[in-house]
Amino acid sequence: MESTAAPHPVLRTAVLSGVITGALCIAWVMFLYLTDNNPYGPKRTLSDFFPPIAAVSSQVLLRRYYVSGPGLWKSIGVGLLTALIGAGVAAAGLYTFARLADARLIEQHLTEAHLLLENAKDLYLKQPNGAQQYAATLKGLAHTPAAFAQDEFAKKILLGLLISIPGGVFLRK
């Protein structure tokens, strides 16, 4: 049975949770920048856990609209949509940040990334196909605002989707 208090509870919950999640991801990048940390570096990936947490939280929040539970498809749907919106907002925010921030930040990030990869080169070369992996990793480094946004979106959506499906199954009733 549906509650009639709020129209479109799946959409409302997903949009609210997704936008808040994306804003938190943007806030994390800004925090890194303002504390003189590399906003494009490995610490940025700590915010990759926000969308999965938000997806499950939105599934829990959706349950308050339904007396007998939202059902499987609504529960999975709200999680997937939350992850999609959160990832999209985070990617748009990182793209905007990268476009507005000093371009030297990206150059500094690339210098640090090359140094880290150079230090790990021996580890790559000890593995089968290590030279190819090393070259692919070096070539795959993001170096434009669009590439950073694409990387941000891909990482956030992947984790969000992986967690929202089992979360939806578990929280359907």
DSSP notation for 7-20: SSHHHHHHHHHHHH
Taking only the tens place, the pLDDT of each residue in 16-52 is 999 999 999 999 999 999 999 999 999 999 999 999 9
CA distances from 51 to 54, 55, 85, 115 (A): 5, 6, 9, 30
Report the candidate in 107, 109, 87, 103 with the shortest Cα–Cα distance to residue 42. Answer: 109
Termini Cα distance of the chain: 12
Per-residue burial over 144-165, b = 16 or more CB atoms within 10 Å of its CB, e = otherwise: ebeebbebbbebbbebbbebbb
Backbone angles phi, psi at 66, to 5 degrees: -125, 130
pLDDT score, position 6:
64
pLDDT score, position 1:
46
Could you tell me where the DSSP H helices lie in 35-173? 50-62, 72-100, 104-119, 121-125, 130-139, 145-170
Query: Is 4 a residue whose pLDDT tops 60?
Result: no
The full set of domain ranges for the chain reads 9-101+143-170
* For the chain, percent of residues with pLDDT exceeding 70: 97
pLDDT higher for 126 or 29?
Answer: 29
CA distances from 2 to 5, 38, 60 (A): 9, 47, 15
CA–CA distance, 97 with 51 (Å, rounded to integer) = 19
Identify the three-state secondary structure at position 2: strand
Q: How many Cβ atoms sit within 10 Å of the Cβ of residue 94? A: 27
